[in-house]
Amino acid sequence: MGEDEEKIEIELEHDDIDEMYYQGLWGFRTDEKYQFFYDESNNCRKFWIKPDGGKGLFNTDAYEDFVLAGIVHEKEDYRVTLDEIKDCLGLQKNVREIKFKTQFASGDFLECMKKKRLTSLFKWIDLNGLYIHYHYVNNLYYAVVDIIDSIVDINEVEEYGFQYFLIKSSFYKMLKGKEHKLQKLMFRYCYPNIRSEDIRGFCTGLTALFDRRYDLKPEEKFISGLIQRASNNESLIFVQNNTDFIMKENYVEFYINPIRTFKNSYHTFDEELAIQEVLSQYRLTRNGKEVTNFKFVNSKTDVLVQISDVIAGVMGKFLSYINKSELIGIRRDVNGLNRTQIENIMLLNGLRDKSNNKNVGFLQAVTAQYEIDKMNHFLDLVTARNEAT
């Protein structure tokens, strides 16, 4: 965008009401001063259904969550050199940059946890008074929960004795393992831009993906009934009047969100040209003044952004492992962990706990409660094994 072109102004309001919202609803403070550093993992740029010769397939693995994550600290003048990190990790003198894919990535999450280099890095982060932060998005969950929002409101859900977010989580779980048929259904009806005349067909196709009714749990029967009722609707507000096939145009909102939320903090992002191009179309303001508490840098110039790349990479693999694993497999995996894997997982979980205790806002997720519960179960099992050895 040229300098002379008019930008779209986005006002990032953040007054006392906003503070009450974040602290009251989510339990975290946003007025404290921090230095955030970011990198991303599993960035598919946009999440959509590719026609692919009429097959209609997701453009990426729906269980590889988009992750924006990294390091955070409180000291405005904190400095660390690349040589210091190389010495900590036992890297050769000629290494120019710390990269997850180069020095840490080795197969899936459990394979990564075998790296003693990770042990050294996690301990270094903890001993230097640093915290981790992340915000991740489960693409499939993000794509399908708009259906629930379109067919029922929170009051009706609660009147029937259910919890709204758990209903969303159950709906997501009802569709897990059925991605192939779900993609075909979405493609057939141009999801998330369903025409009014196609509502009945879409809802009928959706319920056909569910298990037999007498096998469903009470909350699943409730969901199935809601969708059958919705087949008579004239509109499904959140999955209509959108662009055919595109469920997530980009992930720019997850870059803007921390800038808005932590207004007194400074945010340093790794270069991401697609995001920067979108942001160049906007003028972010607060109380009429342009927001300047962020920048994008080449990771080669900032060691803490490089370390953030490792945190984002680890979390990306961790979340993919959780999303793709079932409880029986998780128990088997935990029983097979070696000492280094257990130590690294415990160190990672310790950093999560430490960061969460510092500020709940450091760790955020857009995913199903089902996946969060699975993650917690995995960590509980690893903790039990650690205590038993």
Taking every pair of Cα atoms in the chain, the longest distance, rounded to a whole number of angstroms, is 68
Q: Tell me the one-letter amino acid at 339.
A: R
Lowest mean pLDDT among 23-32, 253-262, 313-322: 23-32
Interval 180-232: pLDDT, tens: 999 999 999 999 999 999 999 999 999 999 999 989 999 999 999 999 999 99
| Distance from the Cα of residue 212 to its chain's centroid | 32
In 3D, which of 332, 323, 278, 329 has the Cα closest to residue 137?
323
Task: Give the Cα separation of 348 and 315 in Å (integer).
Answer: 9
Report whether pLDDT(20) > 90.
Answer: no
The DSSP element (H or E) to which 4 belongs, if any, is none
pLDDT of residue 25: 47
Q: Where are the alpha helices (DSSP H) in 189-291?
A: 199-207, 218-230, 253-261, 273-279
Strand partners, 178: none
* CA terminus-to-terminus distance, the chain: 59
Q: What are the pLDDT digits (tens) for 351-380?
A: 999 999 999 999 999 999 999 999 999 999
Query: Does residue 24 surpass a pLDDT of 50?
Result: no
**In which residue are the tokens 């990306």 written?**
316
pLDDT at res. 202: 98
Whole-number Å distance between alpha carbons of 42 and 179:
19
User: CB of 32 within 8 A of CB of 72?
Assistant: no
Residue 55 reports pLDDT greater than 70: yes
pLDDT > 70 fraction of the chain, expressed in percent and rounded: 95
pLDDT band at 31 (very low <50, low <70, confident <90, very high): confident
